[in-house]
Amino acid sequence: MFVITPEALTGYTSVTAAGDTTKTAYESRPVGGLIYMADNLLSTEQTTEMLTNMQNIAMERTGLPAFLSVDEEGGTVARVAANEAFGVTNVGNMSDIGAAGDAQKAYDAGVTIGTYLKQLGFNVDYAPVADVLTNPGNTAIGTRSFGSDASMVADMVTKELEGLSSQGVFGAVKHFPGQGGVSGDSHDGAVTLDKSLGELMQTELVPFQKAVENGVSFVMVGHISVPQVVGDNTPASLSQMMVSNVLREQLGYQGIVITDAMNMGAITGTYTADQAAVMAVNAGVDMILMPQDYETAYNGLLQAVQDGTITEERIDESVERIVKVKLQMQ
């Protein structure tokens, strides 16, 4: 139920291979997946070898593939394409694709990204960005969004997902319930979206709804607070109202819910790693991405199951969803 960095898995400060240390660490505590940053990815040969070895370790230990994931949106967020050593095309900012108004271009971007990610050994991409940019002053999302028209963004997101999927890469739409209308950055601290559920359904949630209807396998939940919906400032990623009521029940989503990185200020400023993990799982989240302290988060979840704070049924639901997607990858 965790997706962590290779550094968090091994305890090393910088990881660019998957050898005996990785094998020992993974065998003692297999995680659901790993997320790789630019520092882990040096060249085509090195990355392919690292990911192939990692996948072999996972298959040998669990009989199921690990989610080997990356933030590869294109444009400013491109862990692979931004590195000239890979020699791949950066598809550019989604704002430019959105402005062109042709959904085929979003599909082509998905195919391009999916092709090189799959060749390297990745199977999950934290993209496309489904945020509708309703606040032009929003710098955290900015050019990462397809634009300000909800129905156009929904079309683009769906097409990009299809493009990724055509190459065997699973996309994750983000950042539910939509961060395009806020002004702060959840990397730094708490961010609030002052809208009602009705308003969200008309704009922010439109691309997510369409992605759900088209069978998306991953939805990434952001850390923004929506007090008009939740009743307080609990971040969406830790809110049962947002995850279970809105995303699962209202939007009808049955796939994997993963948090945005849990080492962001919007979480760490208020919650410890174990508090955040327990709240997220009780909210209905399936996977915790990059907890501030993996050991603390893991032990906190374990303790919560042992003392009944989290039911075994709640864990089983998540494991079932995770295994279902992993079986589709084989």
Residue pair 171/74 in contact (Cβ under 8 Å)? The answer is no
DSSP 246: I
Q: How far is CA 289 from CA 3, 30, 33, 277, in A?
A: 5, 15, 9, 10
Q: Which two structure tokens, joined as six digits, stand for 23?
A: 């094998």
> For the chain, give me the number of helices (H) and strands (E)?
14, 10
Sign of the four-CA dihedral 223, 225, 226, 231: positive
What is residue 310's three-state secondary structure?
A: coil
Question: Which residue out of 108, 149, 187, 293 is catalytically annotated?
Answer: 187
3-state secondary structure 27-41: HHCCCCEEEECHHHC
Catalytic site includes residue 187: yes
What is residue 330's three-state secondary structure?
A: coil
Catalytic site includes residue 260: yes
Question: Which residue out of 260, 286, 293, 307 is catalytically annotated?
Answer: 260
What is residue 102's three-state secondary structure?
A: coil
Q: Which residues are catalytic?
A: 187, 260
